[in-house]
Structure 1
Amino acid sequence: MSKRKPYFILTLFLMLSVLVSACGGANNTNSNAATNVPSESEAPAATEAPAAEFRGFETTKGTIQIPVKPQRIVTDYYGGELLSVGANVLGVEPSTFENPFLTEQLKGAVDVGSPINVEKVLELKPDLIVVMYEESYESLSKIAPTLYIPYGTASNIYESVRLFGDIVGEKEKAEQFITAYDEKAKAGREKLKGVVDENTTVGIFELTDKGEIWMFGENSGRSGQAVYNALGLKIPESIKKQVDANDGFFQLSKEALPEYSADYMFMTVYDPEKKGEAIKQLTDLAVWKSLDAVKNNQYFENDFNTFYRYDPIAISGQVDLIVDMLIARAEENKK
């Protein structure tokens, strides 16, 4: 017995050592696991996006929680505004596809109807919806966060680009667009020096297929922002007074045209059926032929879809077109 005792003690000692190590290892493993698991307050909810991915945006409908960086956007009439700040636009209302300045950027977009079709929007699975009109607001807001931005919320290209840059979380892209626009406007003004006198006036008109004549001011569509704000061409005082008093545009009779004459006239013609009847009736009138802009070959008849638009991309494109038109006409009149 005395010879076997040391072996028994050694064996017992080894068994106890293994048991202690195993217990210690288990304790260490549990400790590390507890360190890596977030507390209940820190752990994200299984069905909710992290709070950092959403933010509140103030609208007339209250504060709306929208994605900080929306990736799939549907809109009715704000396609150009959203595209100007690099947004991914999945769907827009149908007339947006007739905007020649947006043709390339809308190749992958879908027509969502006018008024906007809720079922079509649902199929697109947007993470943000932006609308100018509120007819379907309640239904749309059940699909994704929906912002109601009424017409006139932004009054010029600067406000518009910055508003939509904020909406899509791209304020830097908004400022880049504005910088490029300002540079283009400056270059355009330089090109027109010596071509158009600084005191020259420009009137912006529209003729409808019903024979109605409208006039537009600095911040309306029909190229007003490009003509007056970007290129610094002057609006006649008679026109400015009326448009300022009538929310940017007003209707006048054919007989009143001489009262609102300008050195240059830009006429956008709305003639969806391409009949040409309204413009022929107007240009056959003696009062029309008496206008200085007509007599001096400084009248321009402009395509409706090109010059009706007032989104930032269209306005920027109109600057180039107007500069080219004025230079070409000056060359023509020299002959």
Structure 2
Amino acid sequence: MSNISLTRRGAALAAALMSASLVLTACGGAGDDTGVKAMETAGATAAATRSVKAVNGTIQVPANPQRVVTIGNTNLPFIDLGGKPVGVTEASDSELGVLPVEQRTVYEAAEIIGSDGGEVDLEKLAALKPDLILVQFHSNDWDKVGKRLEAIAPTVLWGLDTEWKAFADALGEAGNVKDVLSRQKAEFKDKVAKIQTSYGKIIDGTSFVDVSRGDWSDPGTFYIADIGCSEIARDDIGMDLPEAAEGKDPLAYEALPFEQIGELSKYDVITYPVDAQGKPTEPFVPVTATNTWKALPAVSSGRALGVFCPGNNSYGPVNRYLDSLDRALATLPAKK
């Protein structure tokens, strides 16, 4: 398959149309507007693509892509922004389980092209005839399939270290879903302001800790969450939450034994993960069953707050998290 870039194709076509317009203008009479129309067509063609910056360079993408394939971490954020990919890589049951019904329907309507970024079925992908491929996965996966993806369609790559707000902006630009993005960003701003206004006095001077446990955690362990949704609470809301020292691995990377649950007593308020129905997530249930947890001052006084976090890689799930946090903070007694 020829791998001529859209830039070169667009430039060549524009040049051809420009030459044709000059010939037509020379042959036409004073009132003949054929040449003008040809030049307008050339301009429209040149405007049919635009440049976006990515890890793999400056990429020429369709101005209005119609057949988008998402790979890795771009799947659900693109759908959250209103996109309807024709192809996706597999998402976990836990990720799909917290999606709104309409978003899950969009995901399930797309063709599964692989289990993850490095295991993409390139023949199946090419058969979808995409006009844009959006990718976020490990650099090792890019080394395996990146050049072959670029040979199929314009491919935009983001690194795993891309900050979530920057990622949403870039995804909205590349995928031409900026209208939904703008609305979600406005909602995010309003929700943050509401929480700060409503609970500012409670938050001020209160120490919080966000604890969690995943289905990957070793038996008898939990961790202090300083990444994910707790980042939103700390960095955007202004809640006093522990975080790793600069240059150190996140606290969330350290598995703590249940014997250390008692050390959480030094915090005024504890937040922990619940599902959409407000029940402790299945992996976290063993923590709540321990006598040490039940004896914590925050737990016995109603200052242990279950908060639903469906994700933090795009504005939609973050806004749902903020709604849950709002409801949880509303249960805290006001400071005197």
Distance change in 2, residues 1:182/1:301 (3 Å): closer
The structure 2 residue matched to 1:205, chosen from 195, 208, 211, is 211
The structure 2 residue matched to 1:31, chosen from 28, 32, 43, is 28
> Does structure 1 residue 108 correspond to structure 2 residue 106?
yes
Distance change in 2, residues 1:61/1:106 (3 Å): same
Consecutive unaligned residues of structure 2, counting only runs of 5 or more, are 1-26
- Alignment partner, residue 5 of structure 2: none
Distance change in 2, residues 1:71/1:229 (3 Å): farther
- Alignment partner, residue 249 of structure 1: 252
Shift of residue 234, structure 1, vs aligned partner:
1.8
| Per-residue Cα deviation, 1:216-241 (whole angstroms, up to 9, x for no partner) | 22xx32x2244223433221xxx224
Contact 2:207 2:268 (8 Å CA) reproduced: yes
The structure 2 residue matched to 1:216, chosen from 211, 225, 231, is 225
Shift of residue 123, structure 1, vs aligned partner:
4.1
> Does structure 1 residue 53 correspond to structure 2 residue 48?
yes
Contact 1:56 1:65 (8 Å CA) reproduced: yes
The structure 2 residue matched to 1:63, chosen from 58, 62, 69, is 58
Shift of residue 169, structure 1, vs aligned partner:
4.2
Contact 1:268 1:308 (8 Å CA) reproduced: no
Contact 2:209 2:269 (8 Å CA) reproduced: yes
Consecutive unaligned residues of structure 1, counting only runs of 5 or more, are 1-29
> Does structure 1 residue 146 correspond to structure 2 residue 123?
no
> Does structure 1 residue 288 correspond to structure 2 residue 288?
no
Partner amino acid, structure 2, of 1:78: T
| Per-residue Cα deviation, 1:227-260 (whole angstroms, up to 9, x for no partner) | 223433221xxx2244862157331422444555
What is the TM-score of this pair, normalised by structure 2? 0.68
CA distance in 1, matches of 2:160, 2:68: 19
Contact 1:226 1:316 (8 Å CA) reproduced: no
The structure 1 residue matched to 2:125, chosen from 94, 118, 121, is 121
Shift of residue 55, structure 1, vs aligned partner:
2.6
What are the within-5 Å matches in structure 2 for residues 107-186 of structure 1?
107-109=105-107, 110=110, 112=112, 113-115=114-116, 116-133=120-137, 134=142, 135-153=144-162, 155-157=163-165, 159-169=166-176, 174-186=181-193
| Per-residue Cα deviation, 1:9-65 (whole angstroms, up to 9, x for no partner) | xxxxxxxxxxxxxxxxxxxxx6349955559x96979xxx92321233332322322
- Alignment partner, residue 196 of structure 2: 189
> Does structure 1 residue 233 correspond to structure 2 residue 230?
no
CA distance in 2, matches of 1:137, 1:106: 27
CA distance in 2, matches of 1:269, 1:147: 35
Q: Give the aligned CA root-mean-square deviation in angstroms.
A: 3.9
Contact 1:188 1:323 (8 Å CA) reproduced: yes
| Per-residue Cα deviation, 1:192-223 (whole angstroms, up to 9, x for no partner) | 356x3422222222213423422222xx32x2
- Alignment partner, residue 94 of structure 1: 90
Shift of residue 99, structure 1, vs aligned partner:
5.2
Moved over 6 A (4+): none
| Per-residue Cα deviation, 1:143-175 (whole angstroms, up to 9, x for no partner) | 22111111121x243x23322232234556544
Tell which deviates more after alignment, 248-257 or 308-317. 248-257
Contact 2:185 2:315 (8 Å CA) reproduced: no
| Per-residue Cα deviation, 1:117-141 (whole angstroms, up to 9, x for no partner) | 4344334332211111235333322
Task: Give the count of matched residue pairs.
Answer: 284
Bigger Rg, which one: 1
**Partner secondary structure for residue 240 of structure 1:** coil
Contact 2:212 2:284 (8 Å CA) reproduced: no
Contact 1:216 1:243 (8 Å CA) reproduced: no
> Does structure 1 residue 74 correspond to structure 2 residue 69?
yes
What are the within-5 Å matches in structure 2 for residues 284-323 of structure 1?
285=290, 287-301=292-306, 306-323=309-326
Contact 1:161 1:178 (8 Å CA) reproduced: no
**Partner secondary structure for residue 245 of structure 1:** coil
CA distance in 1, matches of 2:173, 2:268: 40
Tell which deviates more after alignment, 60-69 or 108-117. 108-117
What are the within-5 Å matches in structure 2 for residues 262-277 of structure 1?
262-268=267-273
Partner amino acid, structure 2, of 1:114: S
Identity %, equivalent residues:
20
